[in-house]
């Protein structure tokens, strides 16, 4: 059997590199920036006031007191977008508004509520230090500084940082198109009526939502019945960067995915992971194809362990880390396979999400989990207090 790490490496080796294009900031929300966004100018681009008040020279009011206030002549006014071009000389002040350019000669701002203003004069009753209420040029970022790093998924705050830096357009990775199909004569769409031996399909709903959550564009290839030719036709005609199939990939007599795709370039094998042992991987007409088991928990686990990293590689997004957590309950592990257990995560540690553990059929119980714990293949059991690798769901 191939280890999960080896299989992931093979999956990633088939993924195309990120497809780059340039978009306006207005269209960039949720996309991944492909190159560092750097400030075009210093931020702020000039010394300015953080208060409404008066721009002064700190030395002029160094000896001001309530009993001996210093009178300064008001010689100009600087407003936001309308800087005063004069210079504050000794014994002078300039009216200034929040965000306005600090006039030449001035090195501090006194809020208007701290002075007594008369016609053409202000009285200052206490000293101020140089730099008081002054926002210095470049204190947020210097020209050329990185304000949004490559690989960042752009949120509103990142767009604001780019805009404040004078950047109108950014280079991003194009969201990959990931097609998916589910197979099985036993599947009925939710809301339908179950016949003998049939079950409701949950994999299509899961994959559509999971792929969207990962930042891909889901492409629904539908439910394909258990006919190998139909599977091959659906996969061959997919307009996608990656195709994900579920079900029909094992060694049974009615495994249409394996029967339909093995001769087209997909290798089917066992991966040392539980759940998710039977899988397929290859290319059909140049498009990578990842074939997953059909049981819902196995699908969710394999999306987190294999498909999620594949999508992130095509988007240029770093892989989230698995963190060490303490087991709060004991549980058994399968022999010679890495176990991926749905768990509930708390500040104290983790415990299995359901009494059924990592059973691949427990679709309804999967909703109780916060994430997954990974247990290495050599372990037969996890005991209370053991450390396991844990990550919250990324999809």
CATH, residue 165: 3.90.105.10
On the question of pLDDT at 134 being above 70, the answer is yes
Question: Is the same domain home to 210 and 93?
Answer: no
Mean pLDDT of 188-207: 85
Question: Is the pLDDT higher at 191 or at 96?
Answer: 96
Residue 364: how many other CB atoms lie within 10 Å:
10
User: Domains in the chain: how many in total?
Assistant: 4
Same domain, 169 and 179: no
Is it the case that residue 194 has pLDDT exceeding 90?
A: no
Inform me whether the pLDDT recorded for 386 exceeds 70: yes
- Of 260, 282, 315, which residue constitutes the final position of a domain? 315
Same-domain status, 143 and 123: no
Q: Do 168 and 195 belong to one domain?
A: no
Same domain, 244 and 334: no
Q: Is the domain of 188 the same as that of 266?
A: yes
Please tell me whether residues 228 and 293 are part of one structural domain: yes
* Cis bond upstream, residue 257 (ω within 30): no
CATH code, 285: 3.40.980.10
Residue 28 clears pLDDT 90, i.e. is over it: yes
Answer whether 94's CB lies under 8 Å from 88's CB.
yes
Residues 35 and 163 in one domain: yes
Domain limits for position 7: 2-17+175-315
Banded model confidence at residue 58, pLDDT cuts 50, 70, 90: very high
CB-CB contact of 291 with 268 (8 Å): yes
Q: What percent of the chain has pLDDT over 70?
A: 96
CATH of the domain at 77: 2.170.190.11
pLDDT exceeds 80 at position 40: yes
Res 256: pLDDT: 87
Question: From CA 224, how far away is CA 244, in angstroms rounded?
Answer: 13
Do 224 and 258 lie in one domain? The reply is: yes
Q: Report residue 358's pLDDT band, with 50, 70 and 90 as the boundaries.
A: low
Q: Last residue of a domain, which of 119, 135, 151?
A: 135
> Do 80 and 110 belong to one domain?
yes
Q: Rounded to an integer, what distance in angstroms lies between the CA atom of residue 165 and that of residue 82?
A: 21
Residues 6+ apart with CB under 8 A from 57: 88, 90, 92, 105, 106, 107, 108
The answer to whether residues 35 and 155 belong to one domain is yes
Q: Among 284, 315, 346, which residue terminates a domain?
A: 315
Residue of higher predicted confidence among 198 and 283? 283
- How much of the chain exceeds pLDDT 90, in percent? 84
CATH number where 384 lies: 2.40.340.10
Strand order in the sheet with 20-24: 20-24, 169-173, 32-33
Residues 72 and 147 in one domain: no
- The confidence score (pLDDT) of residue 5 equals 96
How much is the average pLDDT of 94-122? 96
């Amino acid at each position: 059997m191939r280890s999960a790490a080896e299989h992931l490496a093979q999956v990633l080796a088939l993924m195309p590199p990120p497809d780059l294009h340039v978009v306006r900031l207005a269209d960039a929300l949720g996309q991944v920036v492909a190159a560092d966004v750097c400030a075009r100018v210093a931020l702020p681009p000039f010394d300015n006031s953080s208060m409404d008040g008066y721009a002064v020279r700190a030395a002029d009011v160094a000896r001001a007191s309530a009993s001996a206030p210093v009178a300064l002549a008001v010689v100009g006014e600087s407003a936001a977008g309308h800087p005063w071009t004069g210079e504050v000389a000794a014994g002078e002040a300039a009216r200034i508004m929040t965000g306005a350019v600090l006039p030449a000669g001035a090195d501090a701002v006194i809020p208007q509520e701290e002075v007594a203003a008369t016609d053409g004069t202000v009285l200052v009753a206490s000293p101020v230090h140089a730099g008081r209420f002054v926002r210095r040029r470049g204190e947020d970022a210097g020209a050329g500084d990185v304000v949004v790093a490559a690989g960042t998924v752009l949120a509103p705050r990142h767009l604001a940082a780019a805009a404040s830096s004078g950047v109108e357009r950014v280079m991003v990775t194009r969201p990959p198109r990931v097609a998916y199909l589910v197979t099985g004569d036993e599947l009925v769409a939710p809301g339908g009526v179950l016949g003998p031996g049939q079950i409701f399909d949950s994999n299509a709903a899961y994959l559509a939502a999971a792929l969207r959550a990962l930042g891909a564009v889901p492409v629904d290839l539908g439910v394909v019945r258990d006919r190998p030719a139909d599977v091959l036709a659906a996969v061959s005609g997919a307009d996608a960067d990656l195709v994900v199939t579920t079900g029909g990939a094992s060694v049974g007599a009615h495994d249409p995915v394996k029967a339909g795709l093995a001769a087209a370039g997909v290798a089917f094998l066992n991966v040392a992971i539980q759940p998710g042992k039977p899988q397929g991987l290859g290319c059909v007409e140049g498009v990578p194809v990842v074939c997953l088991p059909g049981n819902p928990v196995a699908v969710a686990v394999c999306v987190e362990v294999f498909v999620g990293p594949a999508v992130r590689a095509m988007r240029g997004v770093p892989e989230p880390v698995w963190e060490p957590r303490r087991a709060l309950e004991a549980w058994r592990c399968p022999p010679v396979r890495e176990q991926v257990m749905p768990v509930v995560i708390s500040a104290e540690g983790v415990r299995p999400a359901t009494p059924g553990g990592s059973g691949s059929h427990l679709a309804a119980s999967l909703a109780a989990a916060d994430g997954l714990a990974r247990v290495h293949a050599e372990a037969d059991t996890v005991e209370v207090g053991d450390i396991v690798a844990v990550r919250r769901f990324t999809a």
